[in-house]
Amino acid sequence: MAFHNEHAGETAARAASRSPVALALVALLGAALGGCGVNRTQIATDIETDARLRHPIALTERAYTVDLFPTGSTIDRRTQEQVAAFAHRYQRLGRGPISIMTPASGPAAGPSHRSVDAVRRELARNGAGAHVTVSSYPVADPALAAPMRLAFDGIGAKVAHKCGEWPSDLASGSSNRGWDNKPYWNFGCANQNMIATQVADPRDIAEPRGEAPSDMSMRLRAITNIRKGDDPATNWKMKNTSIGSVGN
């Protein structure tokens, strides 16, 4: 019985001696796991200061249109170029049918109706082989030029919310609210909206394009220069012209 008590005392002593080490390991493990967490305070601060996060650009469905003003029984060169550009845009971004809307009355009704077949052929010739629907729309004022309108639905880009929102004043005279050293809420929204409107392919905002093949001639030139011991960099030659010699 005495031996059992002595062995139990040794076990308790070893456990007591290992407890600080165990506590230290637990603390280190907790710190490591804590580092894997998300710093929500930092994310909130970034959204408050970064216009790209506060006014994100989103991909949406939108209607693409072009107005044509045919003047004769067929379409002229300018109208052909507009239809060709419209067809190429449909190839990149469009889906579904293409609609042609002509004025139902007025001076432009006749030329528009006579130009429908020519517009169809121009669309097909430029690769827009989608189903084409033809309809008419009422003209409110016959004195105004009524266009023939082409339209299709496709993918577009826009700011996820409406610009021009002011949830709070820039500064308050009766309190210190709004006097933080942070950009105001609407800051950067117009720039984001301009980028979304001007981008050629809205899909570039979501994902980068596939990598194109390398330029073999440039690669072989660089490898040849390295084998010869020359600098593989491109040697750009610049020639300065003095202002006094211009025009002589």
d(CA 101, CA 116): 9
153-168 pLDDT, tens digit per residue, is 999 999 988 888 887 7
Give 246's pLDDT tier (boundaries 50, 70, 90). low
- State if pTM tops 0.85: no
Q: In this predicted model, which residue has the larger pLDDT, 167 or 54?
A: 54
Give the model's pLDDT for residue 104. Answer: 92
Give the model's pLDDT for residue 8. Answer: 45
d(CA 195, CA 207): 15
**Domain boundaries along the sequence of the chain:** 59-158
Q: In this predicted model, which residue has the larger pLDDT, 136 or 34?
A: 136
Residue 63, pLDDT > 90, answer yes
Q: Which CATH architecture has domain 59-158?
A: 2-Layer Sandwich (3.30)
Among left, alpha and beta (phi > 0; psi -120 to 50; other), residue 74 is beta
Please provide residue 23's backbone torsions phi and psi, each rounded to the nearest 5 degrees.
-65, -40
**Which residue blocks in 59-202 are alpha helix, DSSP H?**
77-93, 109-114, 116-125, 189-198
Residues in CB range of 172: below 8 A, 6 or more apart: 178, 179
Strands (E), the chain: 57-68, 94-103, 132-137, 148-159
